[in-house]
Amino acid sequence: YGKSGQRSNEACHDINYIAISGGLGATGPADRPPYPPLNLLADFGGGGLLAAFGIVGALYERSRSGKGQQVDAAMIDGCISMMAMHFPDWGKEVLPERGVGLISGSAPYYRCYECADGRYISVGSLEQAFFDALWRTVGEGERPDHMDVANWPAIEAHLTQVFRSKTRDQWTARFEGIDACVAPVLTPDEVWNEPQVRARHPGSGNDSVPAVPLFSRTRLRPAALDMTDRTTEILEELGLGKEEIAAARGPEAANPITGLSWPPQMKNADQMAAIVKGTRSQPRGDKK
């Protein structure tokens, strides 16, 4: 939560930061509770990436002023910053409420469709040229005005039926070379065999994710994972004495890694999918 404010010493996770930033309240299905997009937004996007950006910015400023400074990179601030485009749209026709709007999943040309094999295809045919290409490929009859919300039910019904007629990979092949912004929804273990990913990052995989961005001269390679606790070593290099280090580390110094180990050891994990699917299929009652 950052160095200041009443929550500054409060423990929270990614889901809490995106909840308070407005991101969670603006995403997900309209008829179910919000679902967090893993821990991508606050932990890695609003936290790690913006913290790294802040460090680079401070180093650059130091090269000009000769002075160092602290970087207060709060995950909640990062999430709020990433919502800057969407805050002005909230409550308006582009994003009137959660799960409703142009790019929140309700527009029939900006959502995912189930294919014949139970897998999914993503459609992002938002602009006119892309929707024209989509309709030329899978549409029938005169191209509808996709920006007229009154046409959305008919467009969705047609696309739902069409995409269920072939497998995901058949649709992927069908749209190859067509600029309609259509792409397969891949599972994590399928990513590394996708032609574009394989061409840019050969040899990468779930346990060897590439270092990005790519540099023309100084290409980086991901370092081996090192979980060694170097807190004392670093504080000694900074000139702190033993008492100062002990005070900084606190009572958990003997066992610095606390809380949930990753990946955690879960019981009956093989039942998880069935439980989640069963919960989602339960009737939710009338909305009051």
The residues assigned a catalytic role are 13, 43
Contact criterion met (CB below 8 Å) for 146 and 127: no
In what order do the strands lie in the sheet containing 120-124?
A: 110-114, 120-124, 182-184
Length of the chain: 288
Cα separation of 175 and 181, whole Å?
A: 9
State the Cα–Cα distance between residues 74 and 12, nearest whole angstrom.
Answer: 12
The residue type at 261: S
Interatomic CA distance for residues 240 and 233, integer angstroms: 10
Nearest 10 degrees: Cα torsion 8, 13, 17, 23: 180
Beta-carbon contacts of residue 215 (< 8 Å; ≥ 6 apart)? none
**Identity of residue 205:** G
19 vs 41: CA distance, rounded Å: 11
